[in-house]
Structure 1
Amino acid sequence: MFDGQHKIHPFAYQGGKDITQRLEKALKTKGNMGLAKVLGISRATISTWHQRNQTPFEVVVRVHLATGASLKWLILGEGEMYVSDDSNAGRNTVNLPYFSFKDGDLVEEEKLQFDRRYLESKRVLVSDNLIVVAKNGDLVFVDKSFDKAISGQYLIKIDGDVSINSLQKLPGNKVAIEFSNSTVQLDERDIEVLGKVISN
Structure 2
Amino acid sequence: MSVQDVIERIAASYSVSSQKALAEALDVPANNISSWIQRDSVPYKAVVKCALDTGADLHWLVNGEFANAKLADKPQPKGKALYDEILSTGGRPVLRRILDAYGFQMQKDLGDLLDISSGTISTWVRREFFPGDVVVTCALDTGVSLNWLATGKGEMYPAPAPAVESEAVLSIPKFRLESGELKEAGNWALDCSLAPSSTEGLNFIEGLNAAWLVDTSAQKIGNGRWFISIDDALDVFDVVRLPGGKVRLTNNAVDFECGVTEIAPFGVVVFTLEKHV
Query: Could you tell me the TM-score, scaled by structure 1's length?
Result: 0.51
Which segments of 5 or more consecutive residues in structure 2 lack a partner in the other structure? 1-69, 71-134, 141-161, 273-277
**One of 171, 180, 188 as aligned partner of 1:95:** 171
Q: Which has the higher contact order (CA 8 A, sep 6+)?
A: 1
Q: Which has the higher helix share?
A: 2
Query: Counterparts of 1:151 and 1:93 in 2: how far apart (Å)?
Result: 29
Separation in 2, partners of 1:176, 1:141: 22
- What is the correspondence of 1:134-153 to structure 2 with a 5 Å cutoff? 134-153=206-225
Structure 1 residues 124 and 137, CA gap change in structure 2 (3 angstroms): farther
Kindly tell me: are residues 173 and 142 of structure 1, through their superposed partners in 2, closer, same or farther at Cα, counting changes over 3 Å? Answer: same
Residue deviations 1:54-88 (CA, integer Å, cap 9, x gap): xxxxxxxxxxxxxxxxxxxxxxxxxxxxxxxx954
Q: State the match for 1:39 in structure 2.
A: none
2:227 equivalent in structure 1: 155
**Rg comparison, structure with higher value:** 2
Q: 1:111 aligns with which of 187, 191, 205?
A: 187
- Which residue, out of 245, 249, 252, partners 1:173? 245
- Structure 1 residues 110, 157: CA separation in 2 closer, same or farther (over 3 Å shift)? same
What is the distance in 2 between the residues matched to 1:134 and 1:191?
22
Structure 2 length normalisation: TM-score? 0.38
- Which residue identity lines up with residue 103 of structure 1 in the other structure? S
User: Which secondary structure does the structure 2 equivalent of 1:149 belong to?
Assistant: coil
Residue 261 of structure 2 aligns to a residue whose secondary structure is: helix
Decide whether the 8 Å contact of 1:124 with 1:199 is kept in 2.
no
Which protein has the bigger strand share? 1
Runs of 4+ residues over 4 Å off in structure 1: none
Shift of 1:142: 0.8
Structure 2 counterpart of 1:130? 202
Q: Which AA in structure 2 matches 1:115?
A: D
Matched, 1:5 2:145: no
1:27-66: CA deviations, max 9, x gaps? xxxxxxxxxxxxxxxxxxxxxxxxxxxxxxxxxxxxxxxx
Which runs of 5 or more residues in structure 1 are unaligned? 9-85
